[in-house]
């Protein structure tokens, strides 16, 4: 294996739009750096001045509480000025196009722009028009790279590695950007990825992304090290993709019985927010020995700090050189 870059190395990408296309070494670089930020976040005083005087805008075209809060905390803990914009308050509601929004924000000399949008590819469209670094906080069904990174960090901290692990991603993969980012990341890091869902919740030719496809939890979870549950949107439960919540939980909801075929120390993940009793049984979700759901939330902030640090690094170094 090639040597990993040191945490001080400049990251060779201006934006983080997706995991697809990142190399294993680059993913490791982010995770290593994030490990350090986990320590910073556990100290009584959590703030540093790395991004002092830098401006970060969180532009959310889709509602989100946890991801937006996580990015906001990440920016603030690095000392950046963080502004939140949501569609309710922005001119988007007044009919401004995405590109106009991008141009307007660009004129404000931002350093980092965190974007969530309901349409796949919308974040890239924005990124093409601005000079700052853009972080994809979820675009349509495409990617949610920081979620995959925090999931990987959680797994690595708990199980010590990613390489060779069997990871079962279960549930609504069709509509899940989290699943796609995780598939790319886990494959890049040498894990074995399974997708477990009824065919109505699987995208066409998903196996071409390098995953094993299972329609039953029994085979899908066998010997798994990690069970990743996905949220099933309520509007998709009533006959559109699955006939009912009851039937879905019976066949795909995670409970101790289905978990029996997995490795004895298998861990459980969920990107939140959970539908208790739909895709996951409360008992399992709250099992502190196996559930990493709260670890995921904690590590999310650290991973986002690492990403903000890396993406602004070149700019900060060249500003420093210019100032001398």
Partner 1 sequence: MSAPTTPRIVYRNARLLDPATGLDQHGDLLTDGEKIADFGQGLFSDSTPEGAEVVDLGGQCLAPGLVDMRVLIGEPGEEEKDTIKSASRAAAAGGITAMALLPNTDPVLDEVAGLEFIARRAREVKLVKVFAYGAATRGTEGNEITEMGLLGQAGAVAFTDGTKAIASAKTMRRALSYAKTFGKLIVQHPEEPSLAAGGMMNSGEIATRLGLVGIPREAEIIMIERDLRLAELTGGRLHFAHISTGESVDLIRRAKARGLKVTCDTAPHYFALTETDVGDYRTYAKVSPPLRGEMDRRAIVDGLADGTIDAIASDHVPQDQDQKRLPFAQAAPGVIGLETLFPLTLELVHKGKMPLLKALACVTANPAAILDLAVGRIVKGGPADLVVFDADVPWQIDVSRFKSKSKNSPFENRPVQGRPLRTIVDGRTVWRAED
| By the rule CB under 8 A, 94 interacts with partner 1 | no
Member of 7, 203, 272, 277 binding partner 1 (CB under 8 A): 203
The dihedral over CA atoms of 47, 51, 53, 56, expressed in degrees to the nearest 10, equals: -100
Binding to partner 1 by CB under 8 A, coded x per residue (else -) over 10-49, reads ----------x-----------------------------
Write the CB contacts of 78 (distance below 8 Å, at least 6 apart in sequence).
47, 48, 49, 50, 51, 305, 308, 309
Q: Is residue 62 classed exposed, middle or buried when 0-12, 13-18 and 19+ CB atoms within 10 A define those classes?
A: middle
Task: Give the separation between CA 267 and CA 189, rounded to whole angstroms.
Answer: 18
Q: How far is the CB of 290 from partner 1 (least distance, A)?
A: 30
Beta strands in 49-110 (DSSP E): 55-60, 81-86
Member of 43, 208, 235, 264 binding partner 1 (CB under 8 A): 208
Residues touching partner 1, count (CB under 8 A) = 24
Cα distances from 45 to residues 51, 74, 82, 296, in angstroms, run 16, 14, 19, 21
Q: Considering only residues 104-163, where is the footprint of partner 1 by CB under 8 A?
A: 117, 119-122, 124-125, 139-143
- Which is closer to partner 1, CB of 80 or CB of 195? 195
Residues of the chain by 3-state class (helix, strand, coil), percent to 5 = 45, 15, 40
Q: How far is the CB of 99 from partner 1 (least distance, A)?
A: 6
Member of 103, 209, 213, 261 binding partner 1 (CB under 8 A): 209
Helix (H, G, I), strand (E, B) or coil at 112: strand
Rounded CA Rg of the chain = 20
Member of 49, 204, 239, 264 binding partner 1 (CB under 8 A): 204
Q: How far is the CB of 282 from partner 1 (least distance, A)?
A: 31
Q: How far is the CB of 118 from partner 1 (least distance, A)?
A: 8
- Tell me which residues touch partner 1 (CB under 8 A): 20, 97-99, 117, 119-122, 124-125, 139-143, 177, 180, 203-206, 208-209
Residue ranges of the binding site for carbamoyl phosphate: 66-67, 116, 144, 147, 272-273
């Amino acid at each position: 294996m090639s040597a990993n870059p040191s945490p001080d190395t400049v990251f060779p990408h201006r934006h983080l739009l997706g995991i697809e296309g990142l190399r294993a070494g680059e993913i490791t670089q982010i995770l290593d750096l994030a490990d350090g930020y986990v320590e910073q976040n556990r100290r009584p005083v959590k703030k540093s001045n790395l991004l002092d005087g830098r401006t970060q805008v969180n532009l959310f075209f889709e509602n989100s509480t946890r991801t937006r809060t996580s990015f906001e905390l990440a920016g603030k803990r690095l000392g950046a000025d963080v502004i939140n914009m949501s569609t309710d308050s922005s001119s988007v509601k007044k009919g401004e196009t995405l590109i106009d929004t991008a141009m307007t924000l660009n004129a404000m000399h931002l350093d980092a722009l965190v974007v969530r949008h309901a349409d796949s590819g919308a974040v890239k469209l924005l990124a093409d028009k601005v000079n700052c670094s853009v972080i994809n906080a979820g675009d349509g069904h495409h990617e949610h790279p920081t979620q995959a990174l925090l999931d990987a960090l959680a797994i690595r901290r708990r199980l010590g590695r990613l390489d060779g692990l069997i990871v079962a991603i279960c549930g609504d993969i069709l509509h899940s950007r989290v699943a796609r980012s995780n598939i790319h990341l886990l494959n890049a890091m040498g894990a074995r990825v399974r997708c477990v869902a009824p065919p109505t919740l699987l995208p066409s030719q998903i196996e071409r992304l390098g995953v094993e496809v299972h329609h039953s939890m029994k085979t899908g979870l066998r010997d798994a090290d990690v069970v990743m549950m996905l949220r099933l949107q309520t509007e998709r439960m009533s006959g559109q993709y699955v006939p009912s919540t009851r039937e879905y939980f019976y066949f795909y909801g995670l409970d101790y019985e289905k978990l029996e075929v997995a490795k004895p120390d298998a861990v459980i993940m969920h990107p939140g927010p959970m539908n208790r009793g739909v895709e996951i049984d409360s008992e399992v979700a709250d099992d502190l020995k196996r559930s990493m759901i709260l670890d995921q939330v904690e590590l999310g902030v650290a991973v986002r700090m690492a990403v903000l640090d890396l993406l602004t690094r070149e700019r900060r170094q060249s500003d420093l050189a210019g100032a001398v």
